[in-house]
């Protein structure tokens, strides 16, 4: 099977993977509720809003999962991807106060912090021999302009040239542009020239301004999120995209969110990966949140895989959903489990108990136990390498 990358070849129901998918679909009998959707796929008709809602309401989770798995297998065979990465959150000081956020602090809080460039590089140096990506997002610092980030990225690239920089959410980009008195595009150009490799896609939450007004008042609007990612794609900066579910959104709003992302991906081919993750409530201020069950998390992964035919990869973000569900999600349409991560604050402060400091061997064990083949990838999904775990050390029998 081809190593699919984020490219036009992947997008919009490319005949190569659609042929494989249709053969699989025809080999099964489908329930009355899923059959109309399967028929649309077989006839190369793109799924729409009502189909997305029907998928969410499908009573048989396992049949929904099978439909998603067929999509994943048509695109990637049995492969499942991960990388060696580390998360460094540069600051928790933020001028906003989103109600779902357990991470941000006001500048005067006892545990507020802002890593200087030297502090950041010291932190990165501890992990540098083991990783090829640093993932950095943080609060909206009231003073750091684009110049601060350009200096940081230049230093990372010159001192750790093997490390890709996946950094800054859309709202961070907007904030930097405003503080620096630059357009969004000029901000992104400067960051890219300084070494930024891709945008991680965080901050999409739910792309509906009524929901945003409640859960993240003051953040970028839905359209601004789309526009910022479009600008990134236009200058050759790929990005991921996300969805935070289980707060106050409806099923329809989830579907509309996905379709907005699918439409932009069809236009720019710049989204590499969709990362849906459920709201975690600890230390947040959203008592009215619905919260998500395990079956709902698997359902969201499955629906994403089926609906988002122009976004190549679907990530089971184990930092949020934990290793056990991430493993199951590989059977429900996900093809990626992120990376080694090493350290993480944002999800853990909100209640995640996902283990940290996983090495590649443990990740490959997780992938294999889901029946998949472990493949290491780079940040932008252009380099792949089958992961073969090292042989266990054989101990000599005691004399
Ligand atoms: S989600 Fe981001 S922008 Fe919102 S309060 Fe938290 S750190 Fe600030």
359-388 per-position pLDDT tens digit: 888 889 999 999 999 999 999 998 889 988
Least confident of 49-58, 324-333, 336-345: 336-345
Can you say whether residue 5 is alpha, beta or left, with left for phi > 0 and alpha for psi between -120 and 50 degrees?
beta
Q: How far is the CA of 101 from the centre of ligand 1 (A)?
A: 6
Ligand 1 lined by 202 (C-beta under 6 Å): no
Q: Structural domains in the chain?
A: 79-386 (3.20.20.70)
Pocket test for ligand 1, best of 140, 174, 220, 345 (most atoms within 8 A of CB): 140
Say what the pTM is. Answer: 0.94
Task: Check pocket membership of 104 for ligand 1, CB cut-off 6 A.
Answer: yes
| Pocket of ligand 1 contains residue 367 by CB under 6 Å | no
Please give the distance, rounded to the nearest whole angstrom, from the Cα atom of residue 243 to the centre of ligand 1. Answer: 15
96 CB within 6 A, ligand 1: yes
CA proximity to 90, closest of 147, 131, 144? 144
Q: How far is the CA of 69 from the centre of ligand 1 (A)?
A: 34
pLDDT at 58: 97
Residue, of 60 and 285, whose pLDDT is higher: 60
**pLDDT band (50, 70, 90) for residue 60:** very high
* pLDDT at residue number 388: 84
| Ligand 1 atom at shortest distance from the alpha carbon of 101 | 6
pLDDT at 383 (0 to 100): 87
What average pLDDT score do residues 87-114 get? 95
Tell me: pLDDT of 141 over 70: yes
Q: Which residue's alpha carbon is nearest to atom 4 within ligand 1?
A: 98
Which residue puts its alpha carbon closest to atom 2 of ligand 1? 139
pLDDT range class, residue 397, cuts 50, 70, 90: confident
Centre of ligand 1 from the C-alpha of residue 138, in Å? 7
- What is the pLDDT, as a whole number, of residue 284? 79
Residue 26 scores a pLDDT above 50: yes
Structure confidence by residue, pLDDT tens digits, 153-184: 999 999 999 999 999 999 999 999 999 999 99
103 within ligand 1 shell (Cβ under 6 A): yes
Q: What percent of the chain has pLDDT over 70?
A: 91
Confidence of residue 1 (pLDDT cuts 50, 70, 90): very low
Residue 299 pLDDT grade (very low, low, confident, very high; cuts 50, 70, 90): very high
Q: Is the CB of 121 under 6 A from ligand 1?
A: no
Q: Which of 76, 39, 37, 80 is nearest to 60 (CA)?
A: 37
What is the distance in A from the centroid of ligand 1 to the CA of 142?
A: 13
Query: Is the pLDDT reported for residue 5 higher than 60?
Result: no
What would the pLDDT profile of 80-96 be if each residue is shown by its tens digit?
999 999 999 999 999 99
Q: Is the CB of 140 under 6 A from ligand 1?
A: yes
Query: Which region among 10-19, 229-238, 305-314 has the lowest average model confidence (pLDDT)?
Result: 10-19
> In this predicted model, what pLDDT tens digit does every residue of 201-216 receive, in sequence order?
999 999 999 999 999 9
CB of 97 within 6 A of ligand 1: the answer is yes
pLDDT at 322 over 70: yes
**Ligand 1 centroid from CA 169, angstroms:** 10
Hey, which of 136, 170, 171, 179 would you mutate to test ligand 1's pocket, going by the most ligand atoms within 8 Å of its Cβ? 171
What pLDDT was estimated at residue 2? 45
Of ligand 1's listed atoms, the one at least distance from the Cα of 171 is 3
Q: What is the pLDDT of residues 302-320, one digit of tens each?
A: 999 999 999 999 999 998 9
Could you tell me which residue, 138 or 393, shows the higher pLDDT? 138
CA 159 to centroid of ligand 1, rounded, Å: 29
Which pLDDT score is estimated for 354? 63
Of 63-67, 85-89, 105-109, 278-282, which gets the smallest average pLDDT?
278-282
User: Where does the pLDDT of residue 241 fall: very low under 50, low under 70, confident under 90, or very high at 90 and above?
Assistant: very high
Sequence-distant (6+) residues with CB within 8 A of 319 are: 87, 338, 341, 344, 347, 348, 352, 354
Task: Give the pLDDT score at 11.
Answer: 63
Is residue 4 scored above 60 in pLDDT?
no
Ligand 1 pocket check: which of 87, 89, 90, 94 to mutate, most ligand atoms within 8 Å of Cβ? 94
Mean pLDDT of the chain: 92
Question: According to the model, what pLDDT value does residue 7 have?
Answer: 55
């Amino acid at each position: 099977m081809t190593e699919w990358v984020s490219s036009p070849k992947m997008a919009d129901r490319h005949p190569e993977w659609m042929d494989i998918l249709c053969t699989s679909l025809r080999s099964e009998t489908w329930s009355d509720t899923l059959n109309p959707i399967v028929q649309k796929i077989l006839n190369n008709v793109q799924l729409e809003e009502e189909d997305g809602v029907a998928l969410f309401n499908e009573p048989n989770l396992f049949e929904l999962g099978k439909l998603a798995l067929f999509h994943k297998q048509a695109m990637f065979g049995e492969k499942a991807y991960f990388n060696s990465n580390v998360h460094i959150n540069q600051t928790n000081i933020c001028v906003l106060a989103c109600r779902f956020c357990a991470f941000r602090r006001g500048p005067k809080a006892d545990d507020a912090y802002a890593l200087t460039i030297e502090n950041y590089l010291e932190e990165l140096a501890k992990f540098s021999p083991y990783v090829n990506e640093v993932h950095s997002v943080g609060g909206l610092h009231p003073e750091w302009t684009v110049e601060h980030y350009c200096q940081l990225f230049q230093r990372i690239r010159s001192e750790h040239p093997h490390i890709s920089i996946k950094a800054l959410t859309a709202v961070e980009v907007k904030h930097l542009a405003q503080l620096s008195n630059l357009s969004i595009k000029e901000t992104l150009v400067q960051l890219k020239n300084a070494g930024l490799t891709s945008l991680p896609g965080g901050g999409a939450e739910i792309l509906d301004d009524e929901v945003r007004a409640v859960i993240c008042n003051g953040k970028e609007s839905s359209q601004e999120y789309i526009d910022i990612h479009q600008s990134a794609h236009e200058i050759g900066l790929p990005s991921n995209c996300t969805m935070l579910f289980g707060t106050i959104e409806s099923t329809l709003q989830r579907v509309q969110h996905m379709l907005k992302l699918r439409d932009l991906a069809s236009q720019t081919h710049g989204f590499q990966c969709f990362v849906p993750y459920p709201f975690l409530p600890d230390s947040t201020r959203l008592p009215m949140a619905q919260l998500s069950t395990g079956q709902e998390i698997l359902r969201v992964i499955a629906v994403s895989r089926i609906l988002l035919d122009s976004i190549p990869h679907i990530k089971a973000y184990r930092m949020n959903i934990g290793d056990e569900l991430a493993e199951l999600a590989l059977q429900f349409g996900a093809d990626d489990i992120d990376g080694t991560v090493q350290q993480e604050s944002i999800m853990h402060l909100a209640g995640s108990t996902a283990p940290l400091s996983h090495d590649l061997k443990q990740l490959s064990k997780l992938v294999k136990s889901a029946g998949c083949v472990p493949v290491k990838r780079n940040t932008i999904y252009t380099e792949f390498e089958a992961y073969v775990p090292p042989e266990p050390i054989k101990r000599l029998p005691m004399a």
